[in-house]
Amino acid sequence: MTIGEASTDDVMSGFRLDGRVALVTGAGQNIGRALARGLAQAGADVLLNDINGELAKRTAQELAAATGRRVVPVQGDVSAQSDVDRIASVAGQEFDRFDILVNNAYTTGYAPPRRTYPADPLKTTDEHWTVAFEVNLLGPYRMIRAFGDRLREHGVGSVINILSGSGFQPNPGMMPYGATKSGLWLMTRYLSKECPDIRFNALVPGVVRDNTVDVAARAQTEANVVPLIPMGRVGDPRELAGACVYLASDAASYTTGALLFCNGGRPW
């Protein structure tokens, strides 16, 4: 089946991903893990990437056991061209096709050893900007470039770039992160127009529960953010999986250059 040939008689079959292969970056935990699980549950085999190789391995084992799909871990930092090349090499060795790329890996741009941006945004360093740019904007492009020919091969290629509300509305103290996420949205639009043989869309999560943040920090975040969310709660990473499956599947065969918010109705 190629783009534009999804069945109009059986709507639900259009959401299935049987026989397809997906790559999810930053998929060791939280949102990336939930997206990889959702794609596998819909029938796709998955190449699961994370900068933390041991975490990628454990998560891949868990998802394979839970879904019955082939889930292959690969360590790699998308900000390094050498790692992107190695990820592409592993993909070629492990799978004979690639249909779906989810660019989820990100950084807020905090440059070690600093853990926050300067209070004065005019004191933001080149290092902060470089870290954010390399991971959030150039990294996704490198991945798209590395897999572009394979995404075109079967006529059903789908790229889903994971954005942030910070790319649409200033979030105090997050300028490099927000600016690079905004750039990723515009890049999505450019590619959807200039590469019509691949579908390029963007998914914008809201604030979700994050098991890497301590309980006190989570409670403070929720106290600050929940009043801004019409649904009155933060999300669960699993609540993003359905949107990702939709954008990856033939159910969205006529959808490209689109932006899908999954944030509980929070305005940006």
Report DSSP state, residue 110.
P
Residue 220, in any domain of the structure: yes
Q: Is the pLDDT of residue 7 over 60?
A: no
In a domain, 123, yes or no: yes
Using the Cα atoms of residue 180, residue 267, residue 25 and residue 217 in order, give the sign of their dihedral.
positive
What is the maximum span of the chain, computed from C-alpha positions, in angstroms? Answer: 58
- In this prediction, residue 117 has a pLDDT band, given cuts at 50, 70 and 90, of confident
Active site residues per annotation? 177
For the chain, what is the mean pLDDT?
92
**Is there a domain that residue 203 lies in?**
yes
Share of the chain above pLDDT 90, in %: 82
Q: Please state, in angstroms and as integers, the Cα–Cα distance from residue 108 to each residue in 62, 105, 166, 219, following that order.
A: 27, 11, 10, 20
Torsions phi, psi for 50 (to 5 deg): -155, 150
Region 241-261 average pLDDT: 98
pLDDT reading at 111 higher than 60: no
In a domain, 147, yes or no: yes
Q: What is the mean pLDDT of residues 36-51?
A: 98
Determine contact, residues 63/41, Cβ cutoff 8 Å. no
Residue-range definition of the domain harbouring residue 90: 11-262
Give the least confident one: 141-145, 178-182, 207-211, 216-220. Answer: 216-220
What is the CA angle 3-70-66, rounded to 5? 110
pLDDT value of residue 144: 98
The verdict on residue 6 lying in a domain is no
Specify the CATH number for the domain of residue 253: 3.40.50.720
pLDDT in tens, 162-196: 999 999 999 888 999 999 999 999 999 999 999 99
pLDDT at 114 over 50: no
For the stretch 122-177, pLDDT in tens is: 999 999 999 999 999 999 999 999 999 999 999 999 999 999 999 999 988 899 99
CA-wise closest residue to 70 among 44, 35, 50: 44
Count how many domains the chain has. 1
Tokens of 95: 């799978």
48 is a domain residue: yes
Residue 3 domain-assigned? no
Q: How far is CA 61 from the centre of its chain?
A: 20
The answer to whether residue 268 is domain-embedded is no
